[in-house]
Amino acid sequence: MELIFKPQFLRDYDAITNVEIKRQLAATLSQIERATSPAKIGGIKKLDKYGRRHRIKIKLNEKDDYRLGLLIQGNRVWVERMLRRPKFYGHYRR
């Protein structure tokens, strides 16, 4: 699948200081890129009420609990946001 990074995701990524979270994120993005369809992406869950938007959990412990926000359209995956859990769901309530 083709990955497209939105500018806001890049800012979110730069704000993350935990190296282990960034390592897990890199592994997740690699897995998405190798997938042949959205169904083959591990840990993905469709966000109800938001059409083609999905999320993947990236969690080390209670403090480092992030969500990766994706928009999937055909063979393209837009990586939208990478936020801590409470902020992520607050962002998608808008």
Q: What is the pLDDT of residue 94?
A: 56
- DSSP secondary structure, 32-89, as one string: HHH-SSGGGSTTEEEPTTSTTEEEEEEESSSSSEEEEEEEEETTEEEEEEEEEHHHHH
Q: Give the total number of structural domains in the chain.
A: 1
Q: What is the pLDDT of residue 63?
A: 81
The CATH number given to whatever domain includes residue 69 is 3.30.2310.20
Q: Is the pTM of this model over 0.85?
A: yes
Domain assignment of residue 61, given as a range:
2-91
Per-residue pLDDT of the chain (94 residues; tens, 9 = 90+): 999 999 999 999 999 999 999 999 999 999 999 999 888 898 999 987 777 899 999 988 888 899 999 999 989 999 999 999 889 888 876 5
User: Residue 94 CB: number of other CB atoms within 10 A?
Assistant: 4
